[in-house]
């Protein structure tokens, strides 16, 4: 099938590449000339495992093309995906200006029946808004607008796209449903479902899923804080409760708050949608509040131990990206921690396998960028673990102890076992496990 993807950000690029991988002809469109030029050379602007290989292959086999021209890019497209940014506005609502502008552009150039798909995370009612923009110039027989939210996770996005738990399609048009079904069949061969529903339910499903997952994290973060006070170990509590099949064992890991480009933005947008509809969604507001507090937990532990004035002290920070296997630092808890500790006078030596450049661009010389994880330890009074990259899981502890001024580890992700830390003689604090 001939497809066009407008917007080559994270979702657009993965979507375009994976559809090309299943044999479709895909044109990815973006206004950013430099990005398009480098994508044409097979260079991805994001770090996402597995994406570069698929990109290269599909470019070589001419199934995947890139352009800055919408008119050229959509010329033969049967389906156009909108994968545009929907950043939070000042009031927390998702800003639809890019989506609606592109809909307006499309209304001037579409000449035959096309399915327009909202792939971006957009508030309930957006499919209707896009349809209304198209209706200003186009005959109703020339388009259908479909909601098709994306559930991929950064770091495993290619796998999530190729083998989704489910595909959600919101459309009231039988014709559009058939096209979408044909497109997604190759991805659900293992029996995972494609759910067809109305547009509004589909749009809401995305916010419901992300907000529910964020709620699980906030619940576990508060449970961890309580476990510390009660002398319980949250690792055991997590295992014990997760074994109940109604709860499930995934996504119950406490830490230092959720971050990234999705949860913070989507939970806020859901709260805003509820408010607009005159509904006070209390739980969603609490989820955000708990997360804000949790981002301060690790810095608080460090300051409890070393004192609130950290002048003259240096700390090593391992991990900056909001989670492993990505260079994404949007809303990363590491940023809050850096602000807090440097604000208290501390010097920081930071290391992250992929996120260093992004932090450098944002924070400049506020921190020292170490050569590697051990270089970060030089002159440090303690090691602070912020992101659970695999390479931090089994480091050379003797080397750590010999470099650190003080053998202390503050672990925001419960990467190490308490027993091991005790045996090795580290002062060790983690989340939800008593010292
Ligand atoms: C999230 C959802 O998981 C995807 O399904 C969704 O498609 C995506 O948002 C999106 O809307 O685009 P992502 O933001 O890539 O994906 O990352 P997650 O793996 O969900 O992690 C989000 C945050 O929660 C991270 O900061 C992570 O450290 C934290 N987390 C996750 C925990 O603190 N505990 C856990 O048990 C799991």
Structure confidence by residue, pLDDT tens digits, 350-366? 999 999 999 999 999 99
Of 252, 273, 293, the residue that ends a domain is 293
Same domain, 364 and 237: no
Atom of ligand 1 nearest to the CA of 388: 28
DSSP letter at 366 equals G
Nearest to 206 by CA among 276, 286, 263, 281: 263
Do the domain assignments include residue 270? yes
Atom of ligand 1 nearest to the CA of 151: 7
Element (H, E) at 219: helix 199-230
Six-digit token string for 99: 């989506």
Of 179, 197, 215, the residue that ends a domain is 197
CA gap 435, 430 in Å, rounded: 8
Same domain, 45 and 146: yes
Three-state DSSP at 102 gives helix
Estimate the crossing angle of helix 97-109 against helix 126-135, to 10 degrees: 30
pLDDT tens digits for 246-283?
A: 999 999 999 999 999 899 999 999 999 999 999 999 99
Instruction: Tell me, letter by letter, the H, E, C secondary structure of 198-209.
Output: CHHHHHHHHHHH
Same domain, 354 and 251: no
User: How far is ligand 1, taken at its centre, from the CA of residue 372, in Å?
Assistant: 26
User: How far is ligand 1, taken at its centre, from the CA of residue 226, in Å?
Assistant: 23
User: How far is ligand 1, taken at its centre, from the CA of residue 153, in Å?
Assistant: 6
Enumerate residues lining ligand 1, CB below 6 A.
121, 150-154, 210, 213, 217, 251-253, 255, 258-260, 262-263, 322-323
Of 166, 197, 228, the residue that ends a domain is 197
CB neighbourhood size of 71 (10 A): 12
| CA 74 to mean position of chain CA atoms | 28
Same domain, 27 and 13: yes
Nearest alpha carbon, ligand 1 atom 23: 258
Atom of ligand 1 nearest to the CA of 157: 15
Estimate the crossing angle of helix 263-276 against helix 199-230, to 10 degrees: 120
Strand order in the sheet with 194-197: 64-67, 25-29, 2-6, 79-82, 114-118, 143-147, 167-170, 194-197
How many structural domains compose the chain?
A: 3
Active-site entry in 18, 28, 227, 262 = 262
Nearest alpha carbon, ligand 1 atom 6: 151
Same domain, 278 and 347: no
User: How far is ligand 1, taken at its centre, from the CA of residue 401, in Å?
Assistant: 32
CA distances to 224, 236, 254, 271, 288 from 217, in Å: 10, 16, 6, 17, 11
Same domain, 376 and 259: no
Same domain, 13 and 162: yes
Three-state DSSP at 275 gives helix
| CATH assignment of the domain containing 267 | 1.10.1040.10
Pocket probe for ligand 1: among 150, 161, 255, the residue whose CB has the most ligand atoms within 8 Å is 255
Give the residues across from 429 on adjacent strands: 410
CA gap 80, 113 in Å, rounded: 11
pLDDT tens digits for 225-239?
A: 999 999 999 999 999
Nearest alpha carbon, ligand 1 atom 34: 253
| CATH assignment of the domain containing 398 | 3.40.50.720
CB neighbourhood size of 140 (10 A): 9
The pLDDT score that the predictor gives to residue 50 is 94
pLDDT tens digits for 150-172?
A: 999 999 999 999 999 999 999 99
Do the domain assignments include residue 435? no
Same domain, 327 and 381: yes
Do the domain assignments include residue 434? no
pLDDT tens digits for 408-419?
A: 999 999 999 999
State which residues form the domain around 210.
Answer: 206-293
Three-state DSSP at 401 gives helix
Nearest alpha carbon, ligand 1 atom 22: 258
User: How far is ligand 1, taken at its centre, from the CA of residue 277, in Å?
Assistant: 27
Same domain, 188 and 251: no
CB neighbourhood size of 91 (10 A): 10
Do the domain assignments include residue 107? yes
Q: Is 262 a catalytic residue?
A: yes
Do the domain assignments include residue 42? yes
Six-digit token string for 418: 């308490």
The pLDDT score that the predictor gives to residue 152 is 94
Pocket probe for ligand 1: among 258, 385, 412, the residue whose CB has the most ligand atoms within 8 Å is 258
Same domain, 287 and 313: no
Same domain, 153 and 230: no
Per-residue pLDDT of the chain (435 residues; tens, 9 = 90+): 999 999 999 999 999 999 999 999 999 999 999 999 999 999 999 889 999 999 999 999 999 999 999 999 999 999 999 999 998 888 878 899 999 999 999 999 999 999 999 999 999 999 999 999 999 999 999 999 999 999 999 999 999 999 999 999 999 999 999 999 999 999 998 889 999 999 999 999 999 999 999 999 999 999 999 999 999 999 999 999 999 999 999 999 999 999 998 999 999 999 999 999 999 999 999 999 999 999 999 999 999 999 999 999 999 999 999 999 999 999 999 999 999 999 999 999 999 999 999 999 999 999 999 999 999 999 999 999 999 999 999 999 999 999 999 899 999 999 999 999 999 999 999 999 987
β-pairing verdict for 347-351 and 314-318: parallel
Same domain, 170 and 252: no
Nearest alpha carbon, ligand 1 atom 30: 258
Report the complex ipTM: 0.96
CA gap 103, 347 in Å, rounded: 49
């Amino acid at each position: 099938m001939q497809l066009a993807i407008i917007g080559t950000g994270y979702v657009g690029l993965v979507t375009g590449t994976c559809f090309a991988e299943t044999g479709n002809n895909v044109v990815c469109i973006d206004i950013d000339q430099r990005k398009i030029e480098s994508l044409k050379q097979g260079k991805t602007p994001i770090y996402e495992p597995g994406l570069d290989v698929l990109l290269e292959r599909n470019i070589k086999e001419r199934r995947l093309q890139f352009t800055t021209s919408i008119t050229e890019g959509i010329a033969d497209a049967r389906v156009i995906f909108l994968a545009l940014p929907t950043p939070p506005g000042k009031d927390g609502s998702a800003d639809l200006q890019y989506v609606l502008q592109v809909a307006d552009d499309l209304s001037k150039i579409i000449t035959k029946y096309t399915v327009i798909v909202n792939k971006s995370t957009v508030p309930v009612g957006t499919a209707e808004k896009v349809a209304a923009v198209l209706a200003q110039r186009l005959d109703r027989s020339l388009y259908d607008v479909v909601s098709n939210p994306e559930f991929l996770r950064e770091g495993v996005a290619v796998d999530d796209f190729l083998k989704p738990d489910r595909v959600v399609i919101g459309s009231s048009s039988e014709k559009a449903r058939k096209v979408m079904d044909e497109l997604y069949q190759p991805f659900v061969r293992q029996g995972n479902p494609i759910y067809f529903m109305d547009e509004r339910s589909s749009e809401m499903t995305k916010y419901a899923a992300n907000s529910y997952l964020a709620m699980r994290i906030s619940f576990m973060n508060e449970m961890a804080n309580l476990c510390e006070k009660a002398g319980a170990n949250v690792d055991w509590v997590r295992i014990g409760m997760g074994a109940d099949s109604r709860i499930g064992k995934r996504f119950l890991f406490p830490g230092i708050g959720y971050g990234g480009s999705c949860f913070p933005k989507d939970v806020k947008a859901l709260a805003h949608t509820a408010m607009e509809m005159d509904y006070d969604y209390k739980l969603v507001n609490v989820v955000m509040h708990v997360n804000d507090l949790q981002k301060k937990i690790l810095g608080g532990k460090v300051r409890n131990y070393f004192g609130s004035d950290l002048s003259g002290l240096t700390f090593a920070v391992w991990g900056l990206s909001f989670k492993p296997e990505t260079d994404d630092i949007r809303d990363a808890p590491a940023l809050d921690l850096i602000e807090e500790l440097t604000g208290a006078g501390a010097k920081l030596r930071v290391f992250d396998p992929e996120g260093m450049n992004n932090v450098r661009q944002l924070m400049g010389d506020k921190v020292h960028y170490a050569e590697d994880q051990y270089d970060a330890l030089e002159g440090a009074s303690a090691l602070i673990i912020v992101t659970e990259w695999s390479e931090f899981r089994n480091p050379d502890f003797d080397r750590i102890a010999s470099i650190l001024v003080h053998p202390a580890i503050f672990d925001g992700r419960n990467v190490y076992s308490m027993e091991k830390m005790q045996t090795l003689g580290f002062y060790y604090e983690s989340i939800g496990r008593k010292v």
